[in-house]
Amino acid sequence: MDYMRLDLLRMATAGPLIHSGLTLREIEVLKWSAEGKTAAEVALILDVKIRTVNFHVSSAIRKMGVTNKMSAVVQAALHGMLPLADAADMSVSGPTKTEMREREKHVKSLVS
């Protein structure tokens, strides 16, 4: 499942997911973390601030009763909350390199 479909799902069903206690945005941030993205990269992909990404990670950690981001990712994967990546999905997941460069410039301008 790519991030655009998660955004559509999030907009259609605002609020927490009852079965897991995590919001769709928290799951989305954990999904990108599971794919090896840093908080800065996730912020660029989702067009939010790094602080917002860290807030969602911290919230997920607290709700899951774990001690760090990797533990949260592992628990989310073990409980089926993270979509499994297909080879076909990986080729179209996320923005292009040009979009990433533009977003990086934007984030750097905000931080400076």
Q: What is the pLDDT of residue 31?
A: 94
State how far the alpha carbon of 71 is from the alpha carbons of 22, 79, 81, 84, in Å.
Answer: 15, 12, 13, 17
Residue 27 pLDDT: 92
The CATH number of 3-111 is 1.10.10.10
pLDDT beneath 50, residues of the chain: 1, 8, 10-19, 87-91
What residues does each domain of the chain span? 3-111
